[in-house]
Amino acid sequence: MNNQVPLYHHHGFIIIHVGPLLSTPTTPSHPHSPPTNDSWKSTLRPPPKDIRPQTEDVTATKGTEFEDMFLRRELLMGIFEAGFERPSPIQEEAIPIALTKRDILARAKNGTGKTAAFVIPALQQIDPSRPKIQALLLVPTRELALQTAQVCKILGKHMAVQVMVTTGGTTLKDDIIRLADNVHVLVGTPGRILDLAGKNVADLSECPVFVMDEADKLLSPEFAPVMEQLLSYLPDARQVMLFSATFPMIVKDFKACLFFLLFLQCSPTAG
Ligand code: ADP
C-alpha cells in the first residue's frame, strides 16, 4: 500500500496529490517484467538520457510501467521516443484514473510531468479517423499553450493526431482557416477559444475531454466567467481534468476546494 498519494472521492471528482507535503520516502521498485515482444521499441530513437539528479517527486514511483496502462501501440511509441522510460508519480496515479473517464483534480509540483499526465489519457481517447475536436486543453498563457501543444505533437507523433494552438494575439482569420481543416486536439487560452466556439468556428459539441492546466489560475476571478461560458459549449458527458502545482486550499482547507468542484458541476449558463 502506497500511502504517498491520498485519493479523495468528492462529488464524483477524484483528487490526487503528489508531493512532499504528504509524502513519505518509498523505495522505487519495478516488479513488472517487460512485455516479451519488444521489437517495435528497436525502431525508436529516444533522446539522450537526462542524467541530472532527480528528487523524489519524480522518482518515488510504485513501479508501474507505461506498458501496463493499456495504451495504444502508436501512443506508447511516442512516449518511448520522447525518452520517457516509466511514468512519474503523478502520471502513475493520474493516467489510469483518467483512462476510466473519471473527473480528476490533480496537484503536483512543477517539473513532475503533469503535462504528459493529462496529454497521454487525452490522446488515448482520441479517434484520429474522426474529424472532430476530441480534446480541449486550456492553459492560462500563450507560452504554456505552445509548450503543451508541442508535448501533444511529440507523444502523438505516431498517431496521426492533428493538434492546433490558439491564443489571443494572433489573427482570428488564421484560426478560422485552420479549423476548417481537421483538428483533434485544441490547445489554447480561454478567451480565444470562447470566441471561436461562440462564432461556431470551433465545434466543441463532441469534445469529451476537457483539461485545465494551471487550473488555479484558470478558475481565478479573472478567467472564471469565461470558463463558465466555455463549459456550456461542451457536451454534458465531458470528462474534466484539473491539474495544478498549487491548490493550497486542498491541503490547508479542503472545503475551499469545493468551490472548484461545485463550479464545474453546476450546469453552466452561457452569455
Ligand atoms: P510539469 O507540467 O509538472 O511542470 P512537465 O510536464 O513540463 O512538468 O515535465 C517536466 C519535464 O519532465 C519535461 O522535460 C518532460 O519532458 C519530462 N518528463 C515528463 N514525464 C516524464 C517521464 N515519465 N520520464 C522522463 N521524463 C519525463
Give the model confidence (pLDDT) of 87-113 as tens digits. Answer: 999 999 999 999 999 989 898 899 999
Residue 64 lies inside a defined structural domain of this protein: yes
Supply the residue whose CA is at minimum distance from atom 19 of ligand 1. 113
Task: Specify which residues 18 forms β-bridges with.
Answer: 108
Q: How confident is the model at residue 162 (pLDDT cuts 50, 70, 90)?
A: very high
Domain count for the chain, please give it: 1
Which pLDDT tens digit goes with each residue over 26-36? Answer: 444 444 444 44
Element (H, E) at 124: helix 114-124
- Phi and psi at residue 227, in whole multiples of 5°? -60, -40
| CA nearest ligand 1 atom 24, residue | 84
Instruction: Tell me the CA–centroid distance for residue 197 and ligand 1, in Å.
Output: 31
Most confident by average pLDDT, 7-21, 100-114, 124-138: 124-138
Look at residue 49 and tell me if it is in a domain.
no
Residue type present at position 177: I
Cell of 127: 479517434
Q: What is the gyration radius of the CA atoms in the chain, in angstroms?
A: 18
| Residue 156 belongs to domain spanning | 7-41+55-247+255-265
What tens digit of pLDDT does each residue of 179-199 get? 999 999 999 999 999 999 999
Contact 243 CB / ligand 1 (< 6 Å): no
Residue 81 included in any domain: yes
Q: How many CA within 13 A on the CB side of residue 36?
A: 0
- Mind listing the pLDDT tens digit for each residue in 38-94? 665 666 677 777 777 777 666 666 789 999 999 999 999 999 999 999 999 999 999
CA 120 → CA 11, 130, 180, 211, 222, distances in Å?
Answer: 24, 18, 26, 12, 29
pLDDT score recorded for residue 261: 56
* Pocket lining: 61 vs ligand 1, CB cutoff 6 Å: no
Q: Please indicate, yes or no, if residue 96 is contained in any of the structural domains.
A: yes
> Amino acid letter at 217?
K
Question: In angstroms, how far is CA 189 from the centroid of its own chain?
Answer: 15
Residue 149 lies in a domain: yes
- Let me know if residue 62 belongs to a domain: yes
The strand pairing partners of 9, in sequence order, are 14
Assign residue 138 a region (left: φ > 0; alpha: ψ between -120 and 50; beta: otherwise): beta
Q: What is the CATH number of the domain that holds 206?
A: 3.40.50.300
91 ligand 1 Cβ < 6 A: yes
The answer to the question of residue 121 being in a domain is yes
Residue 260 is predicted with a pLDDT of: 54
pLDDT range class, residue 259, cuts 50, 70, 90: low
Determine the atom of ligand 1 nearest the C-alpha atom of 108: 3
Predicted local confidence at residue 250, as pLDDT: 42
Over range 231-241, report the average pLDDT: 91
**Helix, strand, or coil (residue 240):** strand
Distances (CA, A) of 153 to 123, 149, 157, 168: 10, 6, 6, 21
Q: Does residue 24 have its Cβ closer than 6 Å to ligand 1? A: no
Residue 47 belongs to some domain of the structure: no
**114-124 and 142-155 helices cross at what angle (nearest 10)?**
50
What is the model's pTM?
Answer: 0.82
**Largest pairwise CA distance in the chain:** 55
